[in-house]
Amino acid sequence: QVQLVESGGGLVQPGGSLRLSCVASGISFSSYTMKWYRQTPGKQREWVAGINSGHDTNYADSVKGRFTISRDNAKNTAYLQMNSLKPEDTAVYYCKALYWSIYWGQGTQVNVSS
């Protein structure tokens, strides 16, 4: 059974940092492209960052220079390092794995507030 489990969310002040993790099981993790999305109530899910099997990365303009996506294939884990957080980064963050199939995690809440 395939599972993606996100963790690392929480409450942080503006300007602070968080690192999200997404642990995958049941898939050949190293073959999958991993992506992070986020969603706020009443809005569509928004793509944030992606990393492919070759470790090439790309980012939404809204997070470029502040967020870093990475992966550790030995741990079947993708990460999203989030620095210089802003209130508008508040959202539920989801990881997505795609290759021959697409899988989503259950999400982790990030709140940026003073």
pLDDT of residue 69: 98
How many residues would you count in the chain?
A: 114
pLDDT of residue 66: 98
The predicted-structure confidence for 51-101, as pLDDT tens digits, reads as follows 999 999 999 999 999 999 999 999 999 999 999 999 999 999 999 999 989
Task: Of 45, 50, 33, 24, give the one whose Cα is nearest residue 93.
Answer: 45
The predicted-structure confidence for 3-39, as pLDDT tens digits, reads as follows 999 999 999 999 999 999 999 999 999 999 999 999 9
Is residue 3 helix, strand or coil?
strand
